[in-house]
Structure 1
Amino acid sequence: MKKKAPNTHRELELLDALRRLGGAARNSDLVNVLGVSEETVRRTIKSLSKAGTIERVHGGAYLAGAQGDPGFFRRISQHADEKRLIAAHTAKMARDQMTVFLDVGSTTAFVAEELRRANRLTVVSNSIGVVQTLAGINGNRVHLLGGELQSDERGTFGHVAQRQLQRYAFDLAILSTDAISDSRGFLYHSPAEADLAMVVAGQADHVVMAAAHFKFGNMAPYVGPDPRLVHAIVTDAAPKGAMAKSFDRWGIDVQVAKVGGSDAA
């Protein structure tokens, strides 16, 4: 039997970084932690993946056999093109020196990447990934909420996080959702996410939902913020029928992100 080659120094560094980041990370997180190029990270991930040490997903990797569900990384790899389109449009709403909240959603992770172009933001988030993406960039001040860490979401939730949120006055809150009902509004699979979204919506001057069109008409068990508190939704295809009428009734500005530009529905 052929003896397995020992890991290189770079491979060992990347494995250690993954462990320190909770067993999973996006490529951009690893670039920041290791201080190397994205090409180096991709090449090292490819080598470790061939050896079966880690699993690759779009834009990231997680330790093979790691405890916890790497669901966030599976979600971020799905419909990535649509999410990038929505993120690019959404990020344009942020202005330099704003106080901005971003949640743990996979689409908001792409928004955080786009916000690296902004300057002197005060960023508050319950997402480990968002904080790692924006900390130390362009004079930003970045705050990670405390609370119970949910490793599958790579974020903090619960009473402590909600209490801390009440200290902030947000110019802009960018939220995600699991499903959108034309009768109930924005829905979530996790009660903790639904509760946190409700608190954020009450603390922000402008609330934006970033959600792909395939969430229209889907169902989830927990109701999120009152849709009348949401000012805009950025999506990749215009809603139709009852969904379009509900957005109009709630006073939500529907913005459809387009390649090379954007239009309102």
Structure 2
Amino acid sequence: MTPSKRQLDILKNVRFNGFCTTSALADTLEVSMETIRRNVNSLVAEGLLEKVHGGVSLPESIPEPSFSRRLAEDKEAKQQIAALVAAQIRNGESLFLDNSSTTAYVAMALSEHKNLFIVTNSASIANILVSRNGNRVFLAGGELREHDAGAFGPEALEFVSRFELDHAILSASAVHCEKGFMVNHLCEAVFSQTLISHSQQTIMALDQSKFDKMAPVKQCDFSQINQFVTNNAPLDPLREAIKLGDCDLLTAEQQTFSQ
């Protein structure tokens, strides 16, 4: 699901207050109770809100693994993917990099590239590429998340929206043949959509452990991705969904399937 503006406003109010009654949401957003109930029910169905006695709250969150732990998971697959992504980037090009562990490996694989123009919301990735081979590195601001040093607030969104770049390099928490690419947090999906809309080409870097899995929030459709880079080719029906989305598939075996 890609939340509507009204649903984003509901989530913002619940996040700020910790708990909201439907009547308070209706008053704050100046809409009918029926409109609030309909939107709240959709958000509950997607796992983004939880009904409690008298109103709604955010669901209990599962702590995210640390960034260093995520770097250690499926390390070889991520390194293979990173090498393939880096091979698509030419010296002097401009790119967005999100704050995933896979894109951190992409940043490492770009260590020999020269004169890159890089925009990221990851302090870790910025640190990898800054002061190297004439690169220019721009870091989105705002509050950094504790577990991965990524910025996702309004300041970060406003900052990245100033740029129009050659590539957006993203990763995801899951990919499913019917749902597309998914992430664990709404702010990550909104950030990804912003990067997609401000780039000429979008590359999704994702290892096979995420295949045929589900996550709470829809990130993007297959049709929004120009190239899907992974370590092993998925099987049908996921592979067929990629094909129908007109998305090129590049695997670690260096076989490109032009859909």
Aligned-CA RMSD value: 1.3
Over 3 Å off, 4+ runs: none
Where does structure 2 lack aligned partners over 5 or more consecutive residues? 1-62
8 Å Cα contact 1:188/1:194 also seen in 2:
yes
Q: Give CA deviations for 1:104-133 in whole Å, capped at 9, x if unaligned.
A: 111111100011111101100001111000
The TM-score with structure 1 as length reference comes to 0.71
What's the TM-score once normalised by structure 2's chain length? 0.73
Structure 2: which amino acid aligns with 1:263?
Q
Shift of 1:147: 2.1
- CA contact under 8 A between 2:222 and 2:241: conserved in structure 1? no
Does structure 1 residue 162 correspond to structure 2 residue 154? no
1:174 aligns with one of 169, 180, 183: 169
Q: Is the 8 A contact 2:129 2:137 kept in 1?
A: yes
1:66-87 Cα offsets, whole Å, 9 max, x none, are: xx96521111101100100000
For residues 19-58 of structure 1, the aligned pairs below 5 Å read none
- Matched AA of 1:139: G
1:226–1:69 Cα change, 3 Å: closer
Contact 1:104 1:155 in 2 (8 A): yes
Answer yes or no: is 1:135 the counterpart of 2:130.
yes
Q: Is residue 103 from structure 1 mapped to residue 98 from structure 2 by the alignment?
A: yes
Residue of structure 1 aligned with 2:83, choices 70, 81, 88: 88
Deviations 1:154-208 (A, max 9, x none): 1111211111111111101110100001111110011111110011111111100
Distance 1:172 1:213 in 2: 22
Amino acid at match of 1:264: T
Secondary structure of the structure 1 residue equivalent to 2:84? helix
Number of the residue aligned with 1:264: 256
The alignment partner of 2:128 has SS state of helix
Aligned length: 195
Q: 1:70 to 1:189 in 2, by over 3 A?
A: closer
Among residues 75, 78, 91, which one is paired with 2:70 in the alignment? 75
Which letter does structure 1 place at the counterpart of 2:189?
A
AA of the residue aligned to 1:120: N
- Look up the match of 2:242: 247
Secondary structure at the residue paired with 2:178? coil
Structure 1 runs not aligned, ≥5 long: 1-67
